[in-house]
Amino acid sequence: MTPQSVFIFLGQLILSALAFVVGMMFGGMFASVMGMPAPILPPAMDANTTMQIMFASSPLLVLALYFVGRELAGGWLVRAGVLAMLAWIAYTLNTVIEGIFFSSYVTEPWFNLVSFTPPVLLCAGVTAWLFPSHNRAASFLHAWRTHFQQRPASAWAWRLLVAAVSFMPIYYFFGTLVVPFVGDYYQQGAFGLAVPPLATLLTVLMVRSVLFFVACLPVVVAWQGTKWNLWLSLGFALFVLVGLIYMLAGTWLPPSMRVIHALEILADSFVHAAALVWLLGKAAMPQARATTTDSFGSAVGRA
């Protein structure tokens, strides 16, 4: 990588991050125009500081989308849609769901959905545009069709079912590991935290598991690189979108708690990604696939 290419990459990264910042401004405007009241925040939370940290950490979000999008089949519109759905579900919708059930202060979830949707969509679109795929000649529809032809329907049935619920036991397992360190905060309701009843918790985990499945399936199917790189890219993306940025911005929480939760999310993100890649990934490595045209073959070769 030459110095010129490094500067170009950094410039693209900054522009994509600025798209997120601009999107946040539009999102806030939309929420205000629609007359949506802002949610009540924990007393120790400084909204301005939190937003500044989220703006400063937006390049991490871009990197997460970049690593996932670099090996996806399809043109700009398809890749932008895949990245936008992954980011919106993991970064926006998932956080709103967590806030409803794990916080005693989030009372206006629609405000967060409306204000955080434009930045995610705009950032995903700009990232897909500025960072083209390594496999521009590969068709998303062809990848989708051939992917599900690799195994019989009976094999896909149990794989899809297990993948759809895989997040639930993984999250619950790693969550139990950190309970001795952070459980008292939730039990005491400190910092606006709350713990739902077990039945509610399991239901929420099931819903989140299905949502993550919906978000990640197009990524796994459209991926044109190796399974190893898919695991690393998807695991990193889930880690950033689900928790890293929010742990960086959660300055009202004790540092030890933020570190513990960050490690927890790091572990369950990569384990979850491994499960999805193993269950849903291609039966053969990309180099072993038959090619239909010279252009498609050369694109796969570059992967």
190-236 pLDDT per residue, tens? 888 888 899 999 999 999 999 999 999 999 999 999 999 999 999 99
Q: How confident is the model at residue 284 (pLDDT cuts 50, 70, 90)?
A: low
In tens, the pLDDT along 172-200 reads: 999 999 999 999 988 888 888 888 899 99
229: helix, coil or strand? helix
- Across the range 259-277, mean pLDDT stands at 97
Q: Using CB atoms within 10 A of its CB, is residue 121 exposed (0-12), middle (13-18) or buried (19+)?
A: buried
Q: Comparing 36-45, 92-101, 182-191, 224-233, which segment has the lowest mean pLDDT?
A: 36-45
Structure confidence at residue 122 (pLDDT)? 97
Structure confidence at residue 289 (pLDDT)? 40
Pair of tokens at residue 118:
């434009």
Structure confidence at residue 106 (pLDDT)? 66
Structure confidence at residue 102 (pLDDT)? 86
Q: Domain containing 151: what range?
A: 3-302
Is residue 156 over pLDDT 80? yes
- Across the range 252-269, mean pLDDT stands at 95
Q: How confident is the model at residue 295 (pLDDT cuts 50, 70, 90)?
A: very low
Q: How far apart are the first and last CA of the chain?
A: 17
In tens, the pLDDT along 118-151 reads: 999 999 999 999 999 887 677 899 999 999 999 9
8 A C-beta contact, residue 228 and residue 282 = no
CA angle, corner 108, sides to 104 and 113, nearest 5?
120
How far CA 192 is from CA of 103, 177, 245, 253, in Å, comes to 5, 22, 19, 10
Give the rounded percent of residues in the chain with a pLDDT score beyond 90.
69
Q: Comparing 30-44, 113-127, 156-170, which segment has the lowest mean pLDDT?
A: 30-44
124 contacts: CB under 8 Å, gap ≥ 6: 65, 80, 83, 84, 87
Question: How many separate domains does the chain show?
Answer: 1
Which of 147, 177, 162, 246 is CA-nearest to residue 209?
A: 162
- In whole numbers, what is the pLDDT of the chain averaged over residues? 89
Is residue 99 over pLDDT 90? no
Structure confidence at residue 107 (pLDDT)? 65
